[in-house]
């Protein structure tokens, strides 16, 4: 079967605009990283696996199957469609993932894998779901999944991640590096809310949405571009020793990136 690419992303900027219950509302520019992606494909199960009827993921993951975003995407898609074809597919095939995007890195690897899996199932099974419908299902898996569903190279992402608006610009050539530090996104947001809470207003958010990614990176420091950089540094002090001038921080980390 066909191999599908699940691309990484970086947050060119990430600013908090407010809160929605326990969640934080954001305005962020997501940009696809062309040279960093996982590869997913359906592969026939061994006969013993096929008899077990269990959902099988083959790949280098540190989590259980039940914790994996791909399994969560399967569960959400099954719940939304009730498709017997989907269950039959996963009885016969495993989902094989060649992991290149680091985990706990702020590069969206888990979300991209989940989105890619949803699109694979939609194509292979002819489910006929629109991108909007897939994005709604994907949002149940994670806030970043809708961006990857739409497949935009660059987009303004707002709300808690559910509002994705394509931004027409030239893709930047991005280099990433990821320290071996496992960062908890919920923990970083908690530190932000406790110690750094200063949401920007609608006027500032509108200005950012209109700015090119190149212009944003040229006019802001890493901490100005990403509201989560300072809280991440406070909670994970070893991050500071990995920071290099000219690099920016993606998401809640631990990845840094620059334009080359």
Tokens 């569960």, residue?
75
Question: Fold for domain 4-259?
Answer: Ribosomal Protein S5; domain 2 (3.30.230)
Q: State the SS3 of 94-106.
A: EEEEECCCCCCCC
Between CA 178 and CA 18 the distance in angstroms is 28
Give the pLDDT score at 221.
97
Cβ partners under 8 Å of residue 132, min gap 6:
none
The dihedral through the CA atoms of 188, 190, 192, 196 has a sign that is negative
Q: What are the residue numbers of the active site? A: 9, 144
Confidence (pTM): 0.94
Name the DSSP letter for residue 240.
Answer: G
Query: Can you give the pLDDT at residue 49?
Result: 64
- Domain parsing of the chain, residue ranges: 4-259
pLDDT in tens, the chain (260 residues): 799 999 999 999 999 999 998 889 999 999 999 999 999 999 999 876 656 668 999 999 988 889 999 999 999 999 999 999 999 999 999 999 999 999 889 999 999 999 999 999 999 999 999 999 999 999 999 999 999 999 999 999 999 989 999 999 999 999 999 999 999 999 999 999 999 999 999 999 999 999 999 999 999 999 999 999 999 999 999 999 999 999 999 999 999 999 99
Residue 44 buriedness (CB in 10 A; 0-12 / 13-18 / 19+): exposed
> How much helix, strand and coil, in percent to the nearest 5, is found in the chain?
40, 25, 35
Kindly state the percentage of the chain with pLDDT values over 90. 89
The predicted pLDDT at position 51 comes to 61
Pick the closest to residue 57 from 102, 98, 86, 101 (CA basis): 98
158 beta partners: 27, 163
Question: ω into residue 254 within 30 of 0, thus cis?
Answer: yes
Half-sphere exposure of 194 (CA within 13 A, CB side): 10
Burial of 92 (0-12, 13-18, 19+ CB in 10 A): exposed
What pLDDT was estimated at residue 104?
83
């Amino acid at each position: 079967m066909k191999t599908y690419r699940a691309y990484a992303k970086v947050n060119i900027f990430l600013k908090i605009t407010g809160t929605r219950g326990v969640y934080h509302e954001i305005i962020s520019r997501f940009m696809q990283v062309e040279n960093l992606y996982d590869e997913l494909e359906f592969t026939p199960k061994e006969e013993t696996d096929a008899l077990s009827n269990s959902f099988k993921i083959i790949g280098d993951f540190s989590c259980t199957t039940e914790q994996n975003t791909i399994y969560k995407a399967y569960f959400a898609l099954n719940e939304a469609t009730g498709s017997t074809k989907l269950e039959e597919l996963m009885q016969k095939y495993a989902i094989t993932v060649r992991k290149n995007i680091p985990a706990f890195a702020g590069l969206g690897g888990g979300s991209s894998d989940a989105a890619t899996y949803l699109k694979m199932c939609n194509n292979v099974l002819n489910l006929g779901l629109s991108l909007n419908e897939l994005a709604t299902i994907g949002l149940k898996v994670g806030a970043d999944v809708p961006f990857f569903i739409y497949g935009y190279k660059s987009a303004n992402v707002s709300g808690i991640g559910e509002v994705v608006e394509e931004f027409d610009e030239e893709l930047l050539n991005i280099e990433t590096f990821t320290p071996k530090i496992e960062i908890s996104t919920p923990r970083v947001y908690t530190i932000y809310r406790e110690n750094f809470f200063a949401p920007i207003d609608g006027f500032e958010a509108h200005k950012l949405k209109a700015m090119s990614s190149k212009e944003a990176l040229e006019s802001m420091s890493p901490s100005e571009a990403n509201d989560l950089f300072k809280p991440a540094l406070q909670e994970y002090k070893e991050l500071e020793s990995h920071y290099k001038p000219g690099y920016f921080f993606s998401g809640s980390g631990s990845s840094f990136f620059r334009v080359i």
